[in-house]
Amino acid sequence: MDINILKTLKGHIEFSDTGKGTPILFFHGGHSNCRETLFHKGFDTNKYMLITPSRPGYGYTPLEDHTTPEKTAELVHALINDLGINKVIVYAISAGGLSGIAFAAIYPEKVDKLILASAVTKKWLKKTDKVYKAGKKLFNPRMERNTWSMVRTFSGIFPGMIAKNFFKQFSSAKPHNLDKADIKELIATFAHYRSKTGFMSDLEHDIPNYMLSKIHCPTLIAHSKNDKSVSFDHAEHAYKQIPNAQLLTLENEWGHLFWIGKDATETITKILKFVENEKTTE
């Protein structure tokens, strides 16, 4: 996987790319950046080119004035143009959902298909919500480095305990003894996590409803009823608004993180069928 920083007409943007073939453009979730590969699972890099920009405020992409989904889409559009790519399949995850939606709505000529994975599709949190308040305290630019440093330190000492605590944040499924392979995969995902200024921006993101109705490309909404991070009503909201959408309803073990667990392969296979022009069973 190659990582570069490109100076575009809309500003600097960091991105990773790997593979060759049909371009898949990922809008990563909160606390992440272009180094995350969990959502790459299942993609054959001999058939697909996987492009993951660090959204503004994450990695080495400066936030600057790119504080809205529309501005993020504008910056990523400049990246895609500079890379000489005519069309992409957009794959938007969690807090990256609104930016992916904005990209598909504003630049329809660039988007072949849209995948919304555990995605935020409307205003995520109210300022009175406990999660919002906790996020402001733990992941603001002054605190986030220490927060993630502590997570990684304790993950190395007590991986099972950390995984159980995060499982409760991601899934409403009944707590149980977690598989060692799942714990290892979760801990590995945290290795590159930093909130920087990006997560504070994510907490304020919103888009108008009409933007969803402007999306006319084939769209797959994959979301779990066990998702405790981004509630299932985000999937229902998008499904009602996007004209050409399919809803893949999951009841998987890990809820929000449907790339982890014994049931992950089935979900990933269904997403790949959609990518490869086959209808996905709901």
| Strands laid side by side in the 245-250 sheet | 2-8, 11-19, 48-53, 22-27, 88-93, 111-117, 219-224, 245-250
From the candidates 94, 99, 171, 201, which is the catalytic residue? 94
CB 173 within 8 A of CB 237: no
Q: Which distant-in-sequence residues (6+ apart) come within 8 Å of 54 by Cβ?
A: 13, 14, 15, 28, 33, 34, 60, 61
d(CA 231, CA 149): 28
The answer to whether 118 is a known catalytic residue is no
d(CA 55, CA 49): 18
SS3 of 184, please? helix
d(CA 196, CA 145): 8
Q: Which of 148, 174, 173 is nearest to 162 (CA)?
A: 148
The dihedral formed by the CA atoms of 140, 131, 115 and 84, expressed in degrees to the nearest 10: -10
> Could you tell me the two tokens for 237?
């909201």
Query: Active-site residues: which are they?
Result: 94
